[in-house]
Every structure is written in C-alpha cells, then in structure tokens.
C-alpha cells in the first residue's frame, strides 16, 4: 500500500516487483488475487456509508431504504418465509409509493402477487394484481418520458449545431412530456418536464423565466405540492443562481449563493459546480476579495485535484483573473516571471464558438498591457481579430464582437485612454444594452465585458505599451 501511495502511476509489473521481489507470472496472478480481495473489502464498506446528510441527494436515503428491504425480502422469500416476506413487502411497497419510486413499487407488487398466488389467497391476489397493473402503466409512461428526455440531454451535450437543432424541436418534446405527465401524474414525469423546460429557456437565453420557474418550484415544495423525498432542491438552487448570473443580476445571485451554499456537501461534484458559479457571481458583482476567499476554500478541498482536466483548467483561468485584479502587493521578481510564463502557456480550449477562447486571449492581452509590452499586445489583438472573423459571426455573438471592436479602438487611438473611451462610447452603450445569449452559443464572460473595458482603460491611463528596446 505504501508503494502505491508513493507511486500512484506505477505499472502493474512495477507493483508486482515491489511487493514480491520479482515480476514472474506466478506473482502477477498473486497480485490479481490480492486486488480482488481488496476490491471486495472496499465494496463491502459501501453498506456502511451514511446517506442521511441533507446536503446529499435527498432521494438517495429513501431509495436505498427500499433496496435494502427488497434485498432482505428476496432472501426471506427464497427461504419460503411467506409471513415475514409479506409484511416486509407491504412496508416496502408503502415506502416506494411514498417516495414515488415506481420501479420498486412494481417489484414489490409483483412479488406480492406471486406470494399470494402460491398461498392461494384469492382476494389479496386480486388486490396485488390491481396495484401491479396500475404501477406498471405508470412505469411505462415514466420510461417513455425519460427516454425522450435523455435523448434530448445527449443532444444538448453535443456541438453547437446539435444544440441549435434540439432548440428547434424542444417545444414539441416538452408538449409530449407534458402529455405523458398528465397521464402518469408522477414525480418522475413532473421532473423531466421541469428540467426540459429549464433547458429550453436556457438555450433561448430567457434567464428571467428560469428564475421564475425555479422560484415556483421552491414555492410548490414548501406548500407540500412536490414530493419532498424526491425533489432535488440543490439542483433548483444551482439553476437559480446560474440564471441570476446570466441575467446580469450578480448582487441578488450572490446573496442567494451565500444562503444556498450550506445545502451542498463538499465531497460531491455538485459542490464544485455550485462553487464555480458562486465565484463567477462574486466576480460579476466586483466583489473580488470574496472571489479570492472562495478560491482558497475550493482549492483546499481534498477532491479538488481529482476533478476532470477541463474543470481544473477552468479553475486555473478563474484564479488567473482573480490574481490579475488583486495582484500581490509586492510580487517577487521570480513570481512576476512565473506569472508571465504561465499566461503564455494557458491551455487552448475548444475551437468551437462556445468556450473560453476569448477569455484566455483577453487575459493575456491584459497581462501585456500591464507589462506595457507593445509587441505582445499587438499580437494578442491580432489573434482576437482573427478569432472574431472565424468564429464570432453569428447574431448570438454580438456581445463578444462589440467588446473586441472596443479593444481594436485602443490601437486606432494610439493607446490613448481618453480618446479610446470617447470613441468607444456608442459601442460601450450597445454592449450594455445587449443581453447575454443562450448558453448554447455564448463565450464565457469570467468578468463582464463592461468591467473589462474599464480595466483596459485604467491600464492605459497608467501608461501606454512601448516597443521592445531591442526591436524584437
């Protein structure tokens, strides 16, 4: 175990050699047996996990309660312990119905039917058949709804073109899902309608409607009109603050994020997704110190480094923006060189229109404006111009185009802040008047373009970039 801890990337043969001295076929088989035993012991520990923490998915504890009871009753039934089996099955059926776990209600009703058939209990048998028929019908409707929704989700995770295609058919799919919900009247069918509707409003950029939908869902939950054992309040919180972020209401969103943060367990991936938008809300609200505090908390989470590479790259980019707006009071020469090198080596994101490409190039531009490096500034402006020509031609990219046109003004006005600000008044007003597009088509604004423009002008007032003395 010490060998694995010290060298987690060690190959199988290296592990065999460390454990047994030689990498022989016999020792390789011994390692396989050891791995199997350790895996079994680890899997056995799953039975002792605590799912009662309210910061986890609320339905998990109730679903596992049903599964635990089904497991026990299956053993009892196989042992022909019918009396106790029937009692547990009735309890499990009641739990499944209360939690609206239709698939487990079907299993319970089917076992009850078979049990009463074997006991020749006619009246209980007919009752079980009636229950089974009903829950099977509901399950069929839920399966159809989930099939429609998962197909939609899969398409939404694809390219921008695929997402646009889904946008065109989503109203029809939502109507189909609503029809299924009217027939089933179950939580599962409600949930897919609710999530599909949110996805549709998100794609259109109708964030105010998303706020309304999430607020209505929270209200229905408080009124007891939604199943409290199933409704994922954390998801509702996440969508709500996301909508406030995208609708340019960061102060209100940040206030809610402070309140909602306690409902997310730090050990879950959902915690990181929530924190990501929490940080962005702080940045958009110009509360940079709060964003910095959050980044410290996030990076200290033990699970931080085991996130996907794309997620780590996003966090690095957010941290870079925070470090830029809140630079150390007295950075060392080594630190300055390290940061300059790091900015140059920022990873390239998706070449699709959707992503962080503009954010990366703008951060590099800001860095070299602060360094007053004329050649590097001109190079980044040229890259931004080419990126705009190649990728930012759709109507949904207006905000990015307007901001990049503002940046080109600083060259036209010879890096004079006052002249650039005056010449850019109309463009800046257009930028302020242009709402963010739907999520499917947007470049991510880590700091709003309006605030970045003010930051650019501030850097120019501190001094215009100058040519390299060596002429390089």
Least confident stretch, 14-23, 59-68, 463-472? 463-472
Segment among 112-116, 344-348, 413-417, 421-425 with least mean pLDDT: 344-348
Q: What is the pLDDT of residue 442?
A: 61
Q: Is residue 311 included in any domain, yes or no?
A: no
pLDDT at 339 (0 to 100): 63
User: Which of the two residues, 95 and 20, has the higher pLDDT score?
Assistant: 95
Q: Are the beta carbons of 111 and 135 closer than 8 angstroms?
A: no
In this predicted structure, the answer to whether residue 464 has a pLDDT above a threshold of 50 is yes
Last residue of a domain, one of 231, 257, 279: 231
- pLDDT for 340 equals 63
Asked whether residue 160 is assigned to any structural domain, the reply reads yes
pLDDT tens per residue, range 62-83: 999 999 999 999 999 999 899 9
Cβ(361)–Cβ(388) under 8 Å? no
**Taking residues 111-124, what's their average pLDDT?**
95
Mean pLDDT of the chain: 87
Q: Is residue 215, in this structure, part of any structural domain at all? A: yes
**What average pLDDT score do residues 270-276 get?**
94
Q: Please state the domain count of the chain.
A: 3
**What average pLDDT does this structure show over 39-58?**
73
Residue 364 belongs to a domain:
yes
**Among candidates 266, 472, 303, 453, which has minimal Cα distance to 379?**
472
Answer yes or no: is 303 within a domain: no
Angle, helix 102-119 to helix 122-156, in steps of 10 degrees: 160
Average of pLDDT values for 256-270?
A: 92
Nearest to 304 by CA among 345, 326, 276: 276
123 shares a domain with 26: no
- Looking at the DSSP bridge assignments, the partners of residue 393 are none
**Domain end (from 200, 231, 262):** 231
- Residue 57, pLDDT score: 78
SS (H, E, C) the chain: CHHHHHCCCCCHHHHHHHHHCCCCHHHHHHHHHHHHHHHHHHHHHHHHCCCCCCCCCHHHHHHHHHHHHHHHHHHHHHCCCHHHHHHHHHHHHHHHHHHCCHHHHHHHHHHHHHHHHHHCCHHHHHHHHHHHHHHHHHHHHHHHHHHHHHHHHHHHCCCHHHHHHHHHHHHHHHHHHHHHHHHHCCHHHHHHHHHHHHHHHHHHCCHHHHHHHHHHHHHHHHCCCCCCCCCCHHHHHHHHHHHHHHCCCHHHHHHHHHHHHHHCCCCCHHHHHHHHHHHHHHHHCCCHHHHHHHHHHHHCCCCHHHCCHHHHHHHHHHHHHHHHHCCCCCCCHHHHHHHHHHHHCCCCCCCCCCECHHHHHHHHHHHHHHHCEHHHHHHHHHHHHHHHHHHCCCHHHHHHHHHHHHHHHHHHCCCCHHHHHHHCHHHHHHHHHCCCCCHHHCECCCCCHHHHHHHHHHHHHHCCCECCCCCC
More confident residue, 156 or 329: 156
**Structure tokens of 173?**
């799919």
pLDDT of residue 337: 64
Residue 396 has pLDDT above 80, yes or no: no
Confidence band, pLDDT 50/70/90 cuts, at residue 43: confident
Residues 25 and 139 reside in one and the same domain: no
Asked whether residue 470 carries a pLDDT value surpassing 80, the answer given is no
pLDDT digits (tens, 9 = 90+) for 212-241: 999 999 999 999 999 999 999 999 999 999
Of all residues in the chain, the percent with pLDDT exceeding 90 is 60
Look up residue 146 and give its two tokens.
Answer: 């989930």
Residue 21 in this model has a pLDDT that exceeds 50:
yes
- Average confidence (pLDDT) over 279-297: 96
pTM confidence score:
0.82
Predicted confidence (pLDDT) per residue in 406-451, tens digit:
999 999 999 999 999 999 999 999 999 998 876 545 678 899 999 9
Domain identity same for 31 and 128: no
Domain stop point among 196, 231, 266: 231
Q: Is residue 277 part of a domain?
A: no
Give the confidence band of 138 by pLDDT, cuts at 50, 70, 90: very high
The answer to whether residue 193 scores a pLDDT higher than 60 is: yes
Residue 388 within any structural domain of the chain: yes
Domain annotation covers residue 146: yes
For the cut 50, the answer to whether the pLDDT of residue 351 exceeds it is no
Model confidence at 53: pLDDT above 70: no
Residue 347's pLDDT is what?
A: 46
The C-alpha atoms of residue 59 and residue 142 are separated, in whole angstroms, by 17
Q: Which domain holds residue 345?
A: 335-462
Of the candidates 362, 427, 438, 448, the residue with the CA atom closest to the CA atom of residue 394: 438
pLDDT confidence band for 332 (50 / 70 / 90): low
Verify that 27 and 128 share a domain, yes or no. no
């Amino acid at each position: 175990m010490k060998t694995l801890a010290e060298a987690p990337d060690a190959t199988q043969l290296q592990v065999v050699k460390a454990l047994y001295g030689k990498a022989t076929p016999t020792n390789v088989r011994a390692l396989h047996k050891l791995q199997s035993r350790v895996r079994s012991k680890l899997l056995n520990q799953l039975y002792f996990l605590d799912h009662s923490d309210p910061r986890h998915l609320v339905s998990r504890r109730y679903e596992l309660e049903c599964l635990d009871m089904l497991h026990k009753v299956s053993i009892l039934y196989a042992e022909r312990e019918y009396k106790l089996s029937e009692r547990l099955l009735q309890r499990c059926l009641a739990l499944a119905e209360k939690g609206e776990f239709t698939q487990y209600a079907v299993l319970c009703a089917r076992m009850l039917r078979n049990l009463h058939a074997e006991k020749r209990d006619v009246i209980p048998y007919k009752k079980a058949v009636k229950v089974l028929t009903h829950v099977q019908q509901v399950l069929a409707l839920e399966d159809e709804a989930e099939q429609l929704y998962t197909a939609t989700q899969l398409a939404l995770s694809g390219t921008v073109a695929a997402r646009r295609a889904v946008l065109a058919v989503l109203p029809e799919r939502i109507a189909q899902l609503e029809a299924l919900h009217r027939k089933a009247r179950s939580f599962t069918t409600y949930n897919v309608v609710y999530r599909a509707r949110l996805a549709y409003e998100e794609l259109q950029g109708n964030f105010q409607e998303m706020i309304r939908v999430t607020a209505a869902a929270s209200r229905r939950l408080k009124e007891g009109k939604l199943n409290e054992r199933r409704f994922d309040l954390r998801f509702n919180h996440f969508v709500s603050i996301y909508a406030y972020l995208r609708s340019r209401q960061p102060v209100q969103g940040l206030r809610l994020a402070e309140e909602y943060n306690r409902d997310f367990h730090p050990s879950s991936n959902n915690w990181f997704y929530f924190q990501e938008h929490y940080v962005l809300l702080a940045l958009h609200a110009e509360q940079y110190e709060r964003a910095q505090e959050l980044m410290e908390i996030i990076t200290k989470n033990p699970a931080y480094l085991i996130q996907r590479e794309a997620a780590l790259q996003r966090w690095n980019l957010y941290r870079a923006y925070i470090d830029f707006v809140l630079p150390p009071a007295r950075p060392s020469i080594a630190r300055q060189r390290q940061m300059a090198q790091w900015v140059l080596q920022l990873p390239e994101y998706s070449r699709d229109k959707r992503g962080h490409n503009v954010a990366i190039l703008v951060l590099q531009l800001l860095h070299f404006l602060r360094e007053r490096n004329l050649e590097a500034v001109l190079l980044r402006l040229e890259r931004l111009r080419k990126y705009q020509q190649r990728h930012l031609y759709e109507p949904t990219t207006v905000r990015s185009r307007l901001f990049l046109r503002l940046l080109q003004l600083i060259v036209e006005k010879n890096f004079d802040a006052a002249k650039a600000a005056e010449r850019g008044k109309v463009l800046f007003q257009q930028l302020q008047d242009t709402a963010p597009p739907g999520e499917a088509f947007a470049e991510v604004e880590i700091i709003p373009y309006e605030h970045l423009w003010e930051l650019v002008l501030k850097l120019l007032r501190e001094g215009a970039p100058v040519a390299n003395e060596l002429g390089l």
